[in-house]
Structure 1
Amino acid sequence: MDTLEAMRAFVKVAESGSFTEAARRLDVAKPLVTRAVQALEARIGTRLFHRTTRRVSLTDAGQRYLGKAAPALVEFDELEASLRGEAHGEVSGTLRLTMPVSLGVRYLVPLLAEFKARHPRLRLDLDFCDHLVDPVARGFDAAVRVSTRLEDSALTIRRIAASPVVLAAAPAYLARAGVPDTLEGLRDHQMLEVIAERAATGVPRVLAGDAALGAPIRANSVEALKGFAVAGHGVIRAPAFALAEELASGSLVRLLSDAALGEYVVSLVFANRTMMPLRLRRLIDHLALGMQDFAEVVVAPRARSA
C-alpha cells in the first residue's frame, strides 16, 4: 500500500479496534493491513497502536494522528468526487469567498443565491469584512475587492464591475456647515475617513488622502462611517452602491455630482492556477454577467442649498 492507502488502513483499524475487521471493511487481506500500519509507524518513527492478543487501542501519538488523518481523508475523497463531477461539467465542492460587507449583503448575496440554486451540490463558505484579505494566506478561493490599486503580482485579478465615487452628507450637517460648491471647498468640511482605503481611479488629490483634510472620525468600515454621516458628523466619500439607500431616502444628500470624482472598481482576486476549478470559473462568469449594469446604480441629485 502507498501512504494514502496506509492512512486509510490505519483509520479503519482505529475505528473498528481490529485489524481483522479493518481488512474486511477494506476488502483486502489482513496481512496487507498489518504491513501497511507497520510501514506507517516506521515512517513516522513511533507506535500508533497498543497491541495485545485481545485488543488494539490507540497510543497518544495514534490519537493525534487520527485527529488529523481522518478529516484529511474525508477532504481528499470529497476533492476527488468534486473533480470527477467537474470533469463531466458538474459544479460541486466548496467555494470559500471573502467580500466587503455592504457590497456583499446588498448585491452579491442575491447573485450567489441564484448561483447556488443552479448548482445544488455546491457549498458556499462566505466571509464578510471590510479590511483587505489575502485570499491565499486565508485559504479563500477568491476575494472580492472594491478598489483599483491591486498590486498583488502573485494573484490574478478579474474586473467584474465599477461604481462611481460619491460624496454625501446629512441635511442637518449641510444646514450647519454649508454646501460645498467646489472640491477645494471640502477643505472647510469635516471629512469622514476610511482607514487604509485604497484610492479610487481618478480621485482628485484633495479627496485622495490629502494631509490638509481633517478627519474627526476614522473607521475601517464604510458601513460604520455611513452611520456617522447620517448622524450629521461630516462628509463621506464612498462608492455609489454603498450609499444608494440613504441617498434615495434623503437621509444623505449627494454633493458635487458634476465633479469628476473617479470610480471604484469591483474585482475578483484569486491565486494563479494552471487549472482553475470549474466552480470558480463559473462563479466569475456569473458575477460578471449579473453585475453588467452595476455602474448604473442611480443616486439622488446633488444638494443645491442648505
Structure 2
Amino acid sequence: MQWLSSWDSFVKTVETGSMSAAALRLNCTRAQISKQIGDLERNFNTKLFERAHRKLQLTPAGEVFYQQARQTLIAVQNTQVAMQNLGATEPQGILRISATVTLGRKYLTPLLPKLTERYPRLQCELILTDQVLDLVEHNLDIALRITRQPPEDVVAKRLGALKRAICATPAYFQRYGIPQTPADLSQHRCFSYLLLDNYRWHLTDASGYEFHIPIQNRIQFNELSSIFTATLAGEGIAILPRYLCGDALRDGLLQEVLSDYTPHLNFGQYLYACYSPSRVRIPKVQIFLSEIEHLFKVVLE
C-alpha cells in the first residue's frame, strides 16, 4: 500500500515540524519524504504546505488532509493489531510500554523479565521518559501516567494514588533547623518539583486550608532521581514520592517534616494505565494490566 507510506510521511512531517525530522522518525531520507509529499500534492492537485522562510505551514487543504489522514492511519493500525491478535489466547508479539523514568526503573524493569519468561511468545519494549507520549504516534500498547486528568480518547484505569513526603537529611535539619510551619519553607533550600511548579509549593492542612509557599534553591533539576540524589546529599528539602524515598526514610537517611500537610502537584496524584480502546481485548495488554494492578495495589497502599 504505497499510499499508506506517503500519508504516514505527511502526518509525521506535520507532527515533527520538518521533513528532516520526519525522515529521522521513519528511518528514511529527506528526499524520499519530499518526493512523497510532492506526489500527494500532484495527486490532489493542491498545495498541502506553504513553504516560506524554511518553515512548513499547512494550507487549508493541508489541515483537512492532516485530520483525515491521521484518523485513517489510526484505523489502519488498530485493524492490524486486531488481525494480528485474532483468536490469540496467549500473550504474544511486542508489548510496548511507556512509563516515567523513576517509576518504570523501580517497578517495571524487574517485572518484564518475569513476564517474558512466563510467556515465551511475548516480547517487551519499555520506553522510559518523563514526557507524555502519544499512544498512536509512538505505537504504544499502554502508558503509565501520573496525571490529574487522563486524555478523553483513551481507556484509563486508575492504579492508585501516589503518596508524597516533604523531607531532607537529618544533617540538613541539624544545620538549618526544622521548618515548623509551611511559611518556614520559604527560608530554606527547597527543590522545585521537576521545574513545573513555578517555584511555589502548594500544601493543604487537614481542614483543607491552602498554603502557597515561594521556594528557592541555587540548584534545580527537571528529573526526579536527580532531586532524590541531591536531597540525599543534604542539598535541600524536597517533595518526593514515597515509592522513591520510603527506604531512605525507614533507614534514617532522610527525615520527614510537616507530615500533617499534604503536598499538591500540578499534574495530580493518581497513577493511570492508559491504552487505546482497540487494545482492550488483546491478551498481552490484559495480562500486563492484571500484573500491574496487583503490583501497584501492594506498593501504593
What band does the TM-score fall into relative to the shorter chain? Answer: 0.5 to 0.7
Confirm whether residue 181 of structure 1 aligns to residue 186 of structure 2.
Answer: no
Give 2:233's match in structure 1, choosing from 231, 234, 249.
231
Listed as ranges, the gaps of 5+ residues in structure 1 are: 5-43, 45-74, 297-306
| Alignment partner, residue 107 of structure 1 | 107
1:79 Cα deviation (Å)? 6.0
Provide the rounded CA distance (Å) in 1 between the counterparts of 2:275 and 2:217. Answer: 33
Confirm whether residue 195 of structure 1 aligns to residue 194 of structure 2.
Answer: yes
Q: State the SS of the aligned residue for 2:214.
A: coil
Q: State the SS of the aligned residue for 1:138.
A: coil
What count of residue pairs does the alignment treat as equivalent?
219
Mapping 1:283-298, distance limit 5 Å: 283-296=288-301
Matched-pair contact (CA < 8 Å) for 1:111–1:290: no
Matched-pair contact (CA < 8 Å) for 1:193–1:219: yes
Matched-pair contact (CA < 8 Å) for 1:191–1:216: no
| Alignment partner, residue 218 of structure 2 | 216
Provide the rounded CA distance (Å) in 2 between the counterparts of 1:273 and 1:96. Answer: 14
Per-residue displacement from partner, 1:194-230 (whole Å, max 9, x unpaired)? 235489xxx6269x99472224332221101111111
1:291 Cα deviation (Å)? 2.0
CA pair 110-198 structure 1, distance change in 2 beyond 3 A = farther
Matched-pair contact (CA < 8 Å) for 1:98–1:143: yes
Provide the rounded CA distance (Å) in 2 between the counterparts of 1:119 and 1:198. Answer: 42
Provide the rounded CA distance (Å) in 1 between the counterparts of 2:148 and 2:184. Answer: 27
| Alignment partner, residue 50 of structure 2 | none
Q: State the SS of the aligned residue for 1:290.
A: helix
CA pair 288-151 structure 1, distance change in 2 beyond 3 A = closer
| Alignment partner, residue 268 of structure 1 | 273
Mapping 1:116-265, distance limit 5 Å: 116-146=116-146, 148-195=147-194, 197=196, 204=203, 210=212, 212-261=214-263, 264-265=269-270
Say what the alpha-carbon RMSD is for the aligned residues.
3.4
TM-score (norm 2): 0.62
Provide the rounded CA distance (Å) in 1 between the counterparts of 2:90 and 2:84. Answer: 8
1:119 Cα deviation (Å)? 1.4
Per-residue displacement from partner, 1:104-135 (whole Å, max 9, x unpaired)? 12222333333223212110011122333333
Matched-pair contact (CA < 8 Å) for 1:161–1:294: no
1:279 Cα deviation (Å)? 1.1
Q: Which one-letter code corresponds to 1:265 in the other structure?
A: Y
Listed as ranges, the gaps of 5+ residues in structure 2 are: 3-39, 41-76
Q: State the SS of the aligned residue for 1:291.
A: helix
| Alignment partner, residue 14 of structure 2 | none
1:183 Cα deviation (Å)? 2.3
Q: State the SS of the aligned residue for 1:288.
A: helix
CA pair 136-197 structure 1, distance change in 2 beyond 3 A = farther
Provide the rounded CA distance (Å) in 1 between the counterparts of 2:154 and 2:195. Answer: 20
Matched-pair contact (CA < 8 Å) for 1:163–1:294: no
Provide the rounded CA distance (Å) in 2 between the counterparts of 1:270 and 1:194. Answer: 27
Q: State the SS of the aligned residue for 2:125.
A: strand
| Alignment partner, residue 277 of structure 1 | 282
TM-score (norm 1): 0.61
Matched-pair contact (CA < 8 Å) for 1:163–1:264: yes
Per-residue displacement from partner, 1:115-172 (whole Å, max 9, x unpaired)? 22321211001112233333333222221123x3134222221111323111110122
Provide the rounded CA distance (Å) in 1 between the counterparts of 2:279 and 2:255. Answer: 48
Of stretches 261-270 and 97-106 in structure 1, the one that deviates more from structure 2 is 261-270
Matched-pair contact (CA < 8 Å) for 2:150–2:156: no
Q: Which one-letter code corresponds to 1:279 in the other structure?
A: K
